[in-house]
C-alpha cells in the first residue's frame, strides 16, 4: 500500500456508532496576509479550494462536504465546485481565531455530524484514497484523532545567537557518525493536509483524545502552499501528482475552439474605410500549430450569432491551417456529428468555449476549458479555467495544459521510480 498508518495498540476501545455522519470541513476565511483570496486563486486551471473539494466529493465514505467561510466570492466558488457552504460568524473570522474555534462553531450548527474531517484548502495534491484510508482508522479501528504526516530526511539543530558564542547542538544526528539518507528512516512531520476528529473530542477542546494516530502520505502528495512552496512550483507538482477527478481524460485527438471569445477577444474593429478587423495573438496561432505537430486536429467553431464575420473567421482558419465550422446553430449536434465521422468518443475531445451554446460541449468533453471572463454557466461546466484572457494567450495556455496532461498520462511508470529519499 502506498501510505502507511500507525496507532496505539489498545484494541479494546469501542468503535463509533453504526453509520456515523462523516463530514468534510474546509476552512476558507477571506482574509489572507500573503496572497489575497488565496483559497480561490486559480492553481493549474482550478481554484485552489476546488482541488480539495473535488477530492472530498469523490470520497465514497463521506456524507457531506462543507466549506466554512466569511466571504461571498469564496462561497460562490465553493458552491460552483459542489460543496455546501456554512457562513462563519464574525467571532471566528478574526486573524486571531483558531481552527478549533471554527470547527466547534460548525458542529454546534450541524448537530447531525459525528466525525469532522478537517481538510486544509492549501493541500491540492490530496486524493480521495488518502481521505478514505484515514477515515477508516476512526470508523473501523476506533481512533479518536487522525492527522496526516510526511517522512522527511532533515537533520535538526538547536538555534543559537551568534553573539553568545555557543555551539549549536544537533537534535537528531551524531555528527561523528552522520548516516547516509538511505540508511536513516527519517522523521515524521505534520504535512497540514488533514486532521480528523470525533465530535465529542472537538466538544471538549481535544483534551481527552485517548487514541491518536497518524496517516503517512508520500512526499509528492505533501504540498503545503501555506508553508514551503510557491505558486509556479506548486502548479508543476499538482499537474503531476494532483487528483483530476474520477473521469480521467483520454489522449486528446481533437480540439474544438470557439472563434469569438477564445481565439479572439470578441471585439470587432472598424477601420476608417469601413473594413472590419479582429485581433489574434501569435502565441495562440503557434499553439494550434504545436498541437497539430502532436497529431491533434484543431477545428475552429462559431455559432450562428457569432459577431466575427465568416470572411474574417475563414482568414483566421487559413492562418491557423485548420478547418472552420462557421454559423453553427447547435454546437452539440455538430460536435457529435464530427465525432461520429472521425470515430471518436467524448474522452478523445477537448473543447475551449465561452458562450451559452458551449455549455453542453464543455460538460461532455474529456477535457474542457474557458477563458477567465467566461459566463458562470460555462465556468461551472469546464474542467479548466485559463488565466490568460481570450485573444491574448488563452488558446496557448489551454494547449499547454492538453500537452502536460498527455505527458502525465504517459509518465505513470516514471512516477513509480521516484527517489523519495531525495524528493
Q: Is 178 one of the catalytic residues?
A: yes
SS3 content of the chain, % helix, strand, coil (to 5): 35, 20, 40
The candidate with the shortest Cα–Cα distance to 308, out of 343, 254, 354, is 354
| CA atoms within 13 A of residue 145's CA, in its CB half-sphere | 12
Give the burial string for 240-260 (b: 16+ CB within 10 Å, else e).
bbbbbeeeebbebbbbbbbbb
Instruction: Name the catalytic one among 178, 318, 319, 337.
Output: 178
What's the grid cell of residue 131? Answer: 481521505
Q: Are 94 and 53 in contact (CB under 8 A)?
A: no
Cα dist from 418 to 5, 235, 314, 423, whole Å: 21, 18, 48, 8
Q: Is 382 exposed, middle or buried (0-12, 13-18, 19+ CB in 10 A)?
A: buried
Cα dist from 97 to 26, 31, 67, 415, whole Å: 15, 12, 16, 40
The candidate with the shortest Cα–Cα distance to 16, out of 106, 108, 141, 133, is 141
Classified as helix, coil or strand, 310 is helix
Q: Are 223 and 48 in contact (CB under 8 A)?
A: no
Q: Would you please indicate which residues are annotated as catalytic (active-site) residues? A: 178
Amino acid at each position: 500500500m502506498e501510505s502507511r498508518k500507525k496507532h496505539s495498540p489498545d484494541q479494546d476501545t469501542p468503535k463509533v456508532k453504526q453509520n456515523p455522519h462523516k463530514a468534510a470541513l474546509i476552512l476558507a476565511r477571506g482574509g489572507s496576509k500573503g496572497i489575497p483570496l488565496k483559497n480561490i486563486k486559480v492553481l493549474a486551471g482550478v481554484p485552489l479550494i476546488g482541488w480539495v473539494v473535488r477530492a472530498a466529493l469523490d470520497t465514497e465514505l463521506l456524507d457531506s462536504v462543507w466549506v466554512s467561510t466569511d466571504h461571498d466570492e469564496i462561497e460562490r466558488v465553493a458552491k460552483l465546485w459542489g460543496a455546501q457552504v456554512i457562513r462563519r460568524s464574525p467571532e471566528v473570522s478574526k486573524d486571531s481565531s483558531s481552527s478549533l474555534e471554527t470547527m466547534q462553531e460548525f458542529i454546534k450548527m450541524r448537530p447531525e455530524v459525528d466525525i469532522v474531517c478537517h481538510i486544509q484548502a492549501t493541500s491540492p495534491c490530496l486524493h480521495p484514497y488518502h481521505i478514505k484510508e484515514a477515515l477508516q482508522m476512526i470508523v473501523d479501528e476506533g481512533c479518536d484523532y487522525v492527522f496526516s504526516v510526511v517522512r522527511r530526511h532533515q537533520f535538526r539543530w538547536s538555534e543559537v545567537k551568534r553573539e553568545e558564542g555557543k555551539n549549536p547542538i544537533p537534535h537528531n544526528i551524531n555528527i561523528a557518525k552522520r548516516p547516509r539518507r538511505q540508511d536513516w528512516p527519517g522523521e515524521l512531520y505534520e504535512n497540514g493536509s488533514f486532521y480528523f476528529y470525533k465530535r465529542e473530542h472537538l466538544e471538549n477542546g481535544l483534551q481527552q483524545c485517548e487514541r491518536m494516530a497518524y496517516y503517512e502520505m508520500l512526499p509528492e502528495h505533501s504540498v503545503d502552499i501555506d508553508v514551503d512552496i510557491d505558486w509556479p512550483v506548486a502548479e508543476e507538482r499538482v499537474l503531476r501528482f494532483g487528483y483530476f477527478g474520477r473521469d480521467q481524460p483520454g489522449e486528446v485527438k481533437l480540439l474544438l475552439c470557439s472563434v469569438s471569445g477564445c481565439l479572439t477577444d470578441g471585439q470587432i474593429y472598424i477601420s476608417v474605410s469601413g473594413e472590419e478587423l479582429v485581433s489574434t495573438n501569435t502565441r495562440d496561432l503557434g499553439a494550434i500549430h504545436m498541437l497539430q505537430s502532436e497529431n491533434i486536429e484543431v477545428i475552429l467553431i462559431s455559432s450562428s450569432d457569432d459577431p466575427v464575420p465568416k470572411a474574417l473567421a475563414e482568414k483566421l482558419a487559413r492562418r491557423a491551417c485548420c478547418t472552420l465550422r462557421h454559423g453553427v446553430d447547435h454546437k452539440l449536434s455538430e460536435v457529435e456529428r464530427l465525432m461520429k465521422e472521425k470515430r471518436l468518443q467524448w474522452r478523445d475531445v477537448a473543447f475551449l468555449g465561452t458562450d451559452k451554446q458551449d455549455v453542453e460541449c464543455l460538460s461532455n468533453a474529456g477535457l474542457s476549458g474557458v477563458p477567465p471572463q467566461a459566463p458562470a454557466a460555462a465556468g461551472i461546466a469546464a474542467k479548466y479555467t485559463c488565466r490568460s484572457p481570450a485573444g491574448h494567450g488563452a488558446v496557448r495556455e489551454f494547449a499547454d495544459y492538453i500537452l502536460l496532461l498527455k505527458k502525465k498520462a504517459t509518465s505513470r511508470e516514471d512516477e513509480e521510480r521516484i527517489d523519495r529519499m531525495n524528493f
